[in-house]
Amino acid sequence: MSADKPDHPDPVGAHPVRRPDGAHGHSHGGLEGGWAVWLAHPVLRVVLLLVVLAGVSTLLGVVALWPDGTGRAEALDRADSIGLTSQRIGAEVAEVSDAPCSYSTEERPQYCRTIAVRPDDGPDEGNVIGLGEFNLSQSARPPTVEAGDRVMVGYEESTDTYFYADRDRRRSLLVLGAVFAGVVIALGRGRGVLALVAMAVTGAVLVAFVAPSVLDGNDPVLVAVVAASAVAFVSLYLTHGVSPTTTVALAGTLLALLLTLGVTSLFFALVQFSGLGTEEALTLPAVVEGIDLPGLLLGGAMLGALGALDDVTVTQVATVAELHARNPALGFGELLGSGVRVGREHIASTVNTLLLAYAGASMPLLLLFAVANQSLATIANAELIAVEIVRTLCGSIGLVAAVPLTTALAAILLGTGGVAPTGNADWDDFAPDGELEL
C-alpha cells in the first residue's frame, strides 16, 4: 500500500491507523469507509436494505398498533366488577399481637394474630386501623411483621375495609436499583449511562405499548414482534452508536429473531398449547374478552428471546472487530473462522443460562413435580413445563443461528471490500492505536 493512497477506513471506532510509511490518519467513527463497504458489497447492500425496511415497518407497526386505552379501561371495569381490583396503600405497622381468636372457645381454643397499621394515604390516613385476625393454626403462613415494619394494605372502598396485601419493598428496590446503576456506570461510564437509558426505554415499551396494545385487542404476536424490533433498534443504536458495526449486530439480531419466530410458531402449533397453564392465564379471559392466550405465550417467547439474542450478536461483532483491530490483515475467512470459534463457547454457556433461568424461576413447581411420583416424560408433557421447554429449545436455535449470521456479516464488513490491507505487510504497520470501541 503506497503512501499516497487514502487511509484504510476503521469501521470499529475513531482510532488512528498507521500507514506502512509511518504516516497517520484518523477515520471519523468508522462511518465513511465502513458505510462505503456496505454500499459496495452486494450482500451488505441487501442486508442494509432489509434493515431499513425493518425500521420503517417497525415505525409503521408502532403507529398502527399504538393503544388508545379503551381496552385497558374496559379490562379495569371488568376486573372491578368481579372484585379483582382494590386500592393498594403503603402503611406502617403500629402493633402486632398474638392472642385467643375472637371466636375461640374453651373446648376448641384457637389463637390469632392481629395487626394494626397506620396507612400513608386513603380515608384513614395516619389513623390506627386493624387488619382482622390471622388464625395461626389454619393460615398457611400468617404475616411475620413487627411494629415499625413497612407493609402494603388493600382497601375496599365498597365495604370500607382494609386487609394485609404484602410487605412494602419499594425502598429496598430503589436502593438495589441505585446500586445497580452505580455499578453499571462505574464500569461502563458513558456507555453504561446509555445502557441504563436503553433499559428504561425497554421498560417503557413493555408498559406503555405492549400490554395496553394487547388489551386493545391487537394480535399479541404482532405486538410482541413490533415491540422486539423497536427495542432492538433503540437499544443497540442508543447504546453502541449509529455505525456500520452496530448495524451488523442489529441485522444479525433481526434475522435470528425472525428465525426464532418461525421455529417457535411451528412448534407451538404442533404441541397445541391452550395458554391456560398458569393461574394468571385462567383469570385473564374473565378480564380481557377474546384474549388470544396461545398468541400471548408466543409473543412472550419472542420478547424473551430478544434479551439473549442482542447479547450474542453484539458480542460476536465486538469479537470480529477486536480481531480486525489487532490484525487488519486478516481476511474474511480468518475473521469468520475465529469469530465462530469464540461464538461456540458463548453459545454453550448461554444455552445453559437460559435453561437455568427458566428452572430457577420455577423451583416451587419443580419440587411439586418431584413428589408427584410421575415419569419425567409425563412431567414434561404438562403444559406449564412444556411451554418452558419449547421456549428454551426454540430460543436456543435462534441463538445458535445468530452466531454464524452475525459473524459472517461482520467478517464481510471488516475483512473484505478493501477495509483490511492485503499483501505481506508486517502486522505492526497496521495495528490501530488506542482503545477499541464498538
Residue 90, pLDDT score: 92
Intervals of the chain under pLDDT 70: 1-34, 37, 83, 139-140, 354-355, 357-362, 416-438
Complete DSSP assignment for 67-117: --SHHHHHHHHHHHHTT---EEEEEEEEEEEEEE-TT--SSS--EEEEEEE
Neighbouring-strand partners of residue 331 = none
CA atoms of 326 and 341, how far apart (whole Å): 17
CB 399 within 8 A of CB 351: yes
pLDDT value, residue 362: 67
Strand-pairing partners, residue 152, are 90, 166
Cα–Cα distances in Å, from 306 out to 226, 253, 259, 332? Answer: 12, 8, 12, 27
Nearest alpha carbon to residue 84 among 279, 300, 294, 231: 279
Indicate the domain borders of the chain. Answer: 42-67+188-429, 88-168
pLDDT of 416: 60
Question: What residues have CB less than 8 Å from 162, skipping those under 6 apart?
Answer: 117, 119, 124, 129, 130, 131, 153, 154, 155, 156
CA-based radius of gyration for the chain: 28
Task: Report helix angle 42-65 to 244-271, nearest 10.
Answer: 60
For residues 45 and 426, give the distance between their C-alpha atoms in angstroms, rounded to a whole number. 32
At residue 124, the pLDDT reads: 87
